[in-house]
Structure 1
Amino acid sequence: MASRAITRHELTRRREQLQDLQRYLAVLEADHDGARAKLLGFRQRYLEALGPLMRELDELEAQLHQATALLSEALQRQGVDAPASTSPRAKAWPDVPALPEATPLPPEPTGPTTDLPPPSLKTLYRRAAMRFHPDLAPSGPEREVCEQRMMVVNDAYASGDRSRLEALLLAAGELPEKVIGGPADAVRAWLGLCEHMVQGRIRIVQAQTTMLHAQQMHELRIAVERAEVGGMRPLDIMAARLRAQIAERRQELYIGERVGGDVSLAADFLRKRYQRLA
């Protein structure tokens, strides 16, 4: 197989492309981490300001649920058609996960200055079998992964798919010059693998950033901070609304615990309660 010699100019150009990709990736990661830090900081401030009030409101809602359930059961025993009580919906705070650890790029190939012939397909198959054969792996999930990879190896060898065997070995950490030949082809393969890995990482960071910006808490942070820039105190307004809701629920609970003896009042209370929930 003739060597596809890589010129010094091409090598320099490809290295610069890889460096550009890495710089772009670094900017994306910094933007993501900055947005995540802002979101975590805002969530902490939000919970410190409103968390106790929200917990108090949730406790009242749970007591109201219990009271309305008892009323509904009592009315049904008296032959009055009353809706079944529904549990209050729990408020779940979505996670704000950090970026997963990046896989380090493989080392640049080193070796003699003369080109090395690429190994035969059979040699590549043997190397892949030594790395992925399930009999050489410990039991458990790792062996299952090796079984799946060995199936791919066998299929690639049977179909003469050299590129698939090369990709598997390179991704597993095999030295490029032992897989592709080299150093010219090995350097080219190393650059291609590094570009592929960096581009994959870019897609991961972009997807994580999109998910971060789609969170309701992120949208709330933007709205609150804009209002604060305009001189408003939105968290204080939210706290006042929560206190008003707490007062309403306390009154509702007081009534709900005392209308059980009057069928008409109990039915009217339940009707208004479920209208509010709807």
Structure 2
Amino acid sequence: MASMAITRHELSRRREQLQDLQRYLAVLEADHDGSRAKLLGFRQRYLEALGPLMRELDEIDAQLHQATALLSEALKRQGVDAPVSASQRAKPWPDVPALPDATPLPPEPTGPLTDLPPPSLKTLYRRAAMRFHPDLAPSGPEREVCEQRMMIVNEAYASSDRHRLESLLLAAGELPEKVIGGPADAVRAWLGLCEHLVQGRIRIVRAQTAVLQNLQMHQLRVAIERAEAGGMKPLDIMATRLRTQIAERRQELYIGERVGSDASLAADFLRKRYQRLTGLGLQ
């Protein structure tokens, strides 16, 4: 394979491009981490303000569902069919995971810019097999790790994924010159590998940021903070609504526990409750 020493101008230009990518990545990561911190802070504030009321409402709803289920069963024994809606359970708050750890960039090759072509894909595969083949590892956890890595090696070789084989070998301590050639071609290949890793990280950060911004909790935070900036107190309004719902449910529970002796009243109570919960009318 023919090889040319990388020129100082090309080396400087590629390094600047890599640094630009890294700066852009740092901005994306900072934006993600800032949004995540705001979201976690909002969740804490939201739960402190409304959590006790939401739990109280859930407990009353559970009691009410149990009472109406018993009422419906009693009516069925009397030949009266009355609908009962499914129990309404509060949805758990979604996780807001942090960004996964980034793969560290390999060290830059050193030495004079002499010509040494990078090894072939097959040579890389052989070197990876010598390092990770499970038959060469002692039994136990270390062998299991080697089996998993060897599966990755085989997949990378089958798909001609040179970058993946290089990353595995460099992470395992293989000399850069033996993995990406060099030092002349090693520097060029090192820059390409670093660009590949940084661009992959950018895709991960963008994807996770999009997931975070699509969370209902994020949209709720934006709406509440916008209302607060306009002088409103949305959390106080929501707390008032929850207290109203709690009072209504308690009244409903009180009625439900006392209409059992009258089949007509009990059936009418269950139908109205079903209609309120589902929004569906009954014939």
Structure 2 length normalisation: TM-score? Answer: 0.89
2-side partners of 1:199 and 1:72: how far apart?
60
Q: 1:169 aligns with which of 153, 160, 166?
A: 166
Q: Which letter does structure 2 place at the counterpart of 1:101?
A: D
Residue in 2 aligned with 1:145? Answer: 148
Q: Is the 8 A contact 1:166 1:179 kept in 2?
A: no
Q: CA distance change for structure 1 residues 49 and 149 in 2, over 3 Å: closer, same or farther?
A: closer
Distance 1:35 1:128, change over 3 A: same
Q: Distance in 2 between matches of 1:147 and 1:193?
A: 21
Note closer, same or farther for the CA distance 1:126–1:229 as it changes in structure 2 (3 Å cut).
closer
Q: Distance in 2 between matches of 1:277 and 1:32?
A: 38
Give the 3 Å change call, closer, same or farther, for CA 165–131 of structure 1 in structure 2. farther
Q: Which amino acid aligns with 1:93?
A: W
Aligned residues of 2:4 and 2:185 also touching (Cα < 8 A): yes
Contact 1:29 1:205 in 2 (8 A): yes
Unaligned runs of 5+ in 1: none
CA distance in 1, matches of 2:67, 2:82: 14
Aligned-pair CA distance for 1:109: 1.1
Alignment-derived partner of residue 87 in structure 1:
87
SS in 2 for 1:202: helix
1:1-278 map, 5 Å: 1-119=1-119, 123-137=123-137, 139=140, 141-152=144-155, 155=158, 164=161, 167-173=164-170, 174-278=174-278
**Pairwise CA RMSD of aligned residues?**
2.1
Asked if structure 1 preserves the Cα contact closer than 8 Å seen for 2:76 and 2:82, the reply is: yes
For 2:80, the aligned partner's letter is V
C-alpha separation in 2, matches of 1:201 and 1:231 = 40
User: What displacement does 1:119 show?
Assistant: 4.2
Q: CA offset at residue 148 of structure 1? A: 1.6
CA distance in 2, matches of 1:154, 1:98: 31
Kindly provide the CA deviation profile for residues 175-233 of structure 1, in whole angstroms up to 9, marking residues without a partner as x.
Answer: 33112321111011111110011011111111111111111111111111111111111
TM-score (normalizing by structure 1) = 0.90
Q: Name the % identity.
A: 79
In structure 2, what residue type is equivalent to 1:172? Answer: L
Distance 2:205 2:123 in 1: 37
Count of residues in Structure 1 that have an aligned counterpart in Structure 2: 272
User: How far, CA to CA, are the matches of 1:236 and 1:150 in structure 2?
Assistant: 57
Q: Is the 8 A contact 2:125 2:153 kept in 1?
A: no
CA contact (8 A) 1:68 1:85 kept: no
Paired residue secondary structure (1:261) = coil
Letter matched to residue 86 of structure 2: T
Q: Is the 8 A contact 1:132 1:149 kept in 2?
A: no
Kept in 1: contact 2:163–2:193 (CA 8 A): no
8 Å CA contact retained: 1:128, 1:165: no
Q: Secondary structure at the match of 1:172?
A: helix
